[in-house]
A and B are shown apart, each in its own frame.
Chain A
Amino acid sequence: MEKLKNMTCVGCSLLCDDIMIETKNGEIEHVYHACGKGFQHIKGIQNEKRFLKGKIRENGEFREVQVQDAIEKAIKLIKNSKRVMIYGLNNSSDETIETALKLAEKLESNVDSSASYYKGDAILEIINQDLSVAPFEEIRDKGDTIILWGTNPSSSHSRLSSRYAILTRGELTQKGKEDRYVTLIDIRRTEMRHLSDYFYQIEPDQDGQLLEALISKIDGKSVPNEPIAGLSKEDIDEIIKTLKRIDLGVIFFGTGLLGSTKRNLPLLMELVKKINARKPVISLMTTPVHANTIGFVKKMKDKTNALNFNFQTKSPKSLVDLLETSEVDLLILVNSDPVEHFPEKITEKIKKLPIISLASHPNLTTRHARIIIPTSMYGIETGGTFHRMDSTEIRIISCLKAPTQVPTEDDVLKEILNSL
């Protein structure tokens, strides 16, 4: 029985690095400290559905081939295509993303990911405007206020409260939760209300009005006494009091705030900048679902200053734009499942394209792929650099060996790059 301590889980962007795994003869017996979602992710390493050989689909049926044959067939397909789109990369390490961008540049192809449609704009804005982001360790030690707006980490990032930000005890917060105020602003009575001191249930689609009222009040301007976004004058005064008394706080915001209108994000930024102008006290963090969305956005910003890019016209172009004008003739997916997160109008078009999928397990998209190349999994088998939700760089060191014939994503992309 072997005990592997301090492993990193890549189930979500929290990247918990205290996971302990007990193995026997190379098989995983027990996983400690990972939440339900992380456990299923780690268990997937030895799941019987895992891809261990390449697959090629001809005449509607898949047949198994050696991994090397699948890669060579993929290279042939890429050389015969003119408008390639490389999509995914949000679950991949920084090193893999760099290789993918070099490949896209060589092919003069497109690069896009789910970040374009899902919190990527918020991450890019926070980086562009140089807003402060306190690391989780500082929030644990000194954070006195947490605000959750339009996000429900209880289901998507289960250990945010227990491992990092809300219940933890630190240097100046020895009583843990009792040394912090937690405010929840949401349209539904979510599970986070059990951890919140203040819960404001607002009307759907009216976050913008509430933000405008808060900005006016911080500026000292008067605001009408009637309810705004479903909240009374007293509620809004209470929120202002919470904001003004912060010494070190975080606002976590998610799709609930970003979702419907484009104007909510600039308003939130304005509010935070106004409060931080007196003294930098508030950090802004969004809650991305994938392990390395933040790393992807950082690499894209450095190379292209956009969330998606066409390396031929040297301008931003998303997968959705290109599908509308039928400008994609090959889709290379790196650890991604677009059929799962796009609506049917888009997935109908995706299913008709030739797809090369670099994946470790079957998903809704792989059944439509032409070529499946199995790849190893990060965290336990493969190391790399990832970025946590608070933008801290985490270097993952692997401990279990991947099945011998399964290459890493980086290896596959480098082989394709070197063949061109």
Chain B
Amino acid sequence: MGQLSAFQIYKLLPQTNCKRCGEATCMSFAMKLLNRTQELKNCTPMYEEEKYFDKLRKLEETLAPLLAKEIHPSGVSIDLDLCTGCGNCVTTCPPNIRAAPECGEGIGPNTEDVIFKVEDGKVKVLKLDRCRRYEPPKTACRICEIYCYSRAIKIVGT
């Protein structure tokens, strides 16, 4: 999936800044949809007025990967078939290093407080709630995805 932008979402919204969703502008609603602090159903005009139904359908399609129940709100998903257990994510993830400082030196963490840990030759995701994309303030961190050389980690969203 990759880089879905706020502007792509904005183009499919009414662009009237009616404020019925609670946001000042449609652009701000689009950005909050992306980081999942707003829900599409709050844009009531799209569901009430027929002229928006086409865009609504397209918007639901575009947002589907982001809203998929299997994907954690941080947007981090791992294709275990591609993972080779190299441990790059374990060594570079900042919350990992905060929980187990030896990770940063390359040594495998022996605690369960981390996000990534290599078990039985593949990465195992433990406490994904500690991801910087999920815990406030949500940052657009993509470090694990950038350094995963088998392209097993994919992040949905900004």
Contact = CB atoms under 8 A, between A and B. Distances in A.
Contacts of B118: 32-35
Interface string A5-27: 10000000000001110000000
Interface stretch (A126-134, A161-169, A220-228, A319-327): A161-169
Contact of B106 (A31, A40, A158, A164): A164
Interface in B103-134: 104-108, 110, 117-122
A19 B91 CA distance: 15
Contacts of B92: 162, 167, 176-177
A18 B117 CA distance: 13
Given A140-B105, A154-B150, A162 B119 contact: no
A162 B106 contact: yes
Contact of A35 (B87, B91, B107, B149): B87
A158 to B, nearest CB: 4
B110 A35 contact: no
B91 A158 contact: no
Interface stretch (A190-198, A210-218, A244-252, A282-290): A190-198
A194 B106 contact: no
A334 to B, nearest CB: 27
Contacts of B122: 36
A407 interface: no
A30 interface: yes
Interface residues of A, number: 34
A39 B83 CA distance: 13
A35 B86 contact: yes
B85 interface: yes
A256 interface: no
B87 A162 contact: yes
Contacts of B85: 34-36, 38-39, 158
Interface string B82-105: 011111101110000100000011
Q: Give the one of B83, B85, B146 with max A CB within 10 A.
A: B85
A159 interface: yes
Contacts of B105: 140, 168-170
A162 B143 CA distance: 13
Contacts of A167: 88, 91-92, 106, 147
Contact of B87 (A5, A33, A195): A33
B148 interface: yes
A140 B106 contact: yes
B106 A30 contact: no
Contact of A30 (B120, B146, B147): B120
Interface string A234-276: 0000000000000000000000000000000000000000000
A38 B121 contact: yes
A33 B114 CA distance: 13
Interface size range of chain B in the complex: 20 to 34
Contacts of B84: 35-37, 154-155, 158
A191 B149 CA distance: 5
Contacts of A177: 92, 147
Given A36-B85, A169-B105, A162 B90 contact: yes
Contacts of B108: 18-20, 32-33
A170 B91 CA distance: 12
Given A177-B147, A194-B147, A159 B87 contact: yes
Contacts of B90: 162
B149 A169 contact: no
A169 B120 CA distance: 25
B121 A40 contact: yes
A376 B147 CA distance: 37
A168 B91 contact: yes
A161 B88 contact: yes
The winner among B86, B105, B106, B148 for most chain A CB atoms within 10 A is B106
Contacts of A169: 97, 104-105
A162 B150 CA distance: 14
Interface in A156-214: 158-159, 161-164, 167-170, 176-177, 191-192, 194-195
Interface of B: 83-88, 90-92, 97, 104-108, 110, 117-122, 146-150
22 contacts: A5-B110, A18-B107, A30-B120, A31-B121, A32-B119, A33-B87, A33-B108, A33-B117, A34-B118, A35-B85, A35-B87, A35-B118, A35-B121, A159-B86, A159-B106, A161-B91, A163-B106, A163-B107, A168-B106, A177-B92, A177-B147, A191-B150
